[in-house]
Every structure is written in structure tokens, then in C-alpha cells.
Amino acid sequence: MTVTISPVVLRKVATNEAIDAELRDAIEQQQLFDWVLHWQPALYERLKALAAARVSPDNWPQSAHWNWVAKLNEIKDLLAHQTLCVVCEGMTQGLMRVDTVGKRCRLDSQKGLNLVYIDYLEVAPWNWDGPYFDPPRYRGIGTILLRAAIEIRLAEGFKGRIGLHSLPQSTTFYERCGLANRGPDAAYQSRLPYFEMTPEQVQAFLNRGSGK
């Protein structure tokens, strides 16, 4: 399999400079090595900091239990799923898995049409923002991955329609990106809020990113 690499730019928080990065249209073995050998130890350090500060586990990062090795194994060789990642300065900074078959639009204006459903999107623990953590190393990863999901499906004729269930801690990010919060989904585990984007909202998001 040939991986397509597209140049993207992240913001390095410490120096406020733009740093060249890569958007890759597959999560490969190296990303899983990075997850095991770098993300996991960094995660434990952050959880230790939260425990030391006596922060209730209810307020710990809600993706802390995600296992990307298992998530990749679930979809091995299936065309219905696609994975993407952002790599910067030799390290995986963000991971995403999408489903292009299993979910349909729910909004009345596009009910039943195909959409790209974002199964999982996560940035590396050192890019997390929070009161008990060091400042994030890079910003912009989530937006780049979201934009990539939209653009891939625009090219496939889906008109960029996307949907997802958000962890409660991530709802602000998706609202900032222009996705409308459709409220808690009673049919979904933990009643996570459901977000869906119409082609018009997709266009507004893309225009904003390109400065139009």
C-alpha cells in the first residue's frame, strides 16, 4: 500500500512558530510504535499528575483508555474504514479512524445519505491542553484531521458530510469547528452528544481555513 503524504503546518506553542508537518492517509506500524513507546508513557505521566493533584477520575482525559493497536486490528484490510495521522518532527502527533459505510445522515435535510463518520480522533498526550499539564507542544492537529476527513469525502462525492459522537470534553472543539451539536444520543453508549455537518457547514469550515 502506498501512503500519500501531504504537507501541513502545525503551530509550535513554545516558540509560536509554524512547523512543517505531514498528513498521512494511513496509520502504519511506526504510528503504533509511537503510540506504545511514547504516547502511553506520556499518558501515564499526565494521569499521575492528575492523581497527585487529587483530580477526580471523572475529570481525567476521556480518551485515556483508547487502545489504537486494538482499534487498528478491528478494521484490518477493510475498505469501509480509513485511517489518517499527523506526523511532525519525527513523531506521531494525532490519529484518526473514520467509517464510510456504517453510518447514515440523521439531519432531516440529508437523512439517509452517506456520510463520513469519525470513529476516533485523538492527539498525543503532550498536545493536550489542561490546567495540570504543561502547555501543549503543538496546536492545529485536530483541525487538520477534521479537514482531511472532509476533503477526502468531497473528492468521493459525499459532499463532505460528516458525523461523529463526541466525548463531552471535546464538544467545545467540534462546536468551534462549526459542527452543530445535536444533543445527547439516547441510542449511543454513554449518551454521547451527536454532531453532524451539512454541506453548507462544511463549506463554511473550509472557507474559514482558507481565509475566504
Partner 1 sequence: MTTSKRTMTLNLTDAEMRVLEELCSKKDLSKTSLLRQALRLYQLVEARIEKGDKLFFEDEKTKEKAEVMML
When the beta carbons of 54 and 76 are compared against partner 1, the nearer one is 76
Report yes or no: 150 and 116 within 8 Å, Cβ to Cβ.
yes
Bridge partners (DSSP) of residue 7 are 22
Burial 44-83 (b: 16+ CB within 10 A, else e): eebbeebeeeeeeeeebbebeebebeebbeebeeeeebbb
We find the least distance from the C-beta atom of residue 73 to partner 1, in angstroms, to be: 13
CA-atom Rg of the chain in angstroms: 17
Alpha helices (runs of H) in 156-198, residue ranges in sequence order: 171-176
d(CA 62, CA 58): 8
**Secondary structure letter of residue 60 according to DSSP:** S
When the beta carbons of 134 and 151 are compared against partner 1, the nearer one is 151
When the beta carbons of 43 and 87 are compared against partner 1, the nearer one is 87
Site residues, partner 1 (CB under 8 A): 2, 4, 6, 23, 25, 77-80, 100-102, 110, 112-114, 148, 151-152, 155-159
SS3 at position 89: coil
SS3 at position 183: strand
Alpha helices (runs of H) in 27-140, residue ranges in sequence order: 29-34, 40-52, 68-74
We find the least distance from the C-beta atom of residue 126 to partner 1, in angstroms, to be: 25
When the beta carbons of 42 and 107 are compared against partner 1, the nearer one is 107
When the beta carbons of 7 and 211 are compared against partner 1, the nearer one is 7
When the beta carbons of 88 and 148 are compared against partner 1, the nearer one is 148
